Amino acid sequence: MTNTSRILDALMSGEELTGKQITARFGIANARSAIHTLRSEGFPIYLNKHTDTKGRVTQKYRLGKASRKVVAAGYAALGAEAFA
């Protein structure tokens, strides 16, 4: 199992992961590159900001659901063949 597939499994199970968590847990030096690879394969991975009660801001990756606008933009850019 590749590291990117392990990240995808974690995100599909509902986990939200920071870049540091991805690096530490999966041994990936560049978490952003791994997320880019998954996004290029068509997975809707979002980066959300979270603020804790002490005002500290962290950014976490999560697997989401693509909005209608995103799907429409992809359809317009790539044509119907991309969705067949």
- A 10 A CB-CB count for 40 gives 8
pTM greater than 0.85 (yes/no):
no
CATH 1.25.40 fits 3-83, yes or no: no
For helices 19-26 and 31-40, angle between their N-to-C axes, nearest 10 degrees: 100
Amino acid at position 44, single letter: P
pLDDT tens series, the chain, 84 aa: 788 999 999 999 999 999 999 999 999 999 999 999 999 888 999 999 989 999 999 999 999 998 888 878 888 888 777 666
Give Cα 47 to chain centroid, integer Å. Answer: 7
CA distance 34 to 62: 13
14, 28, 42, 66: CA torsion to nearest 10? 40
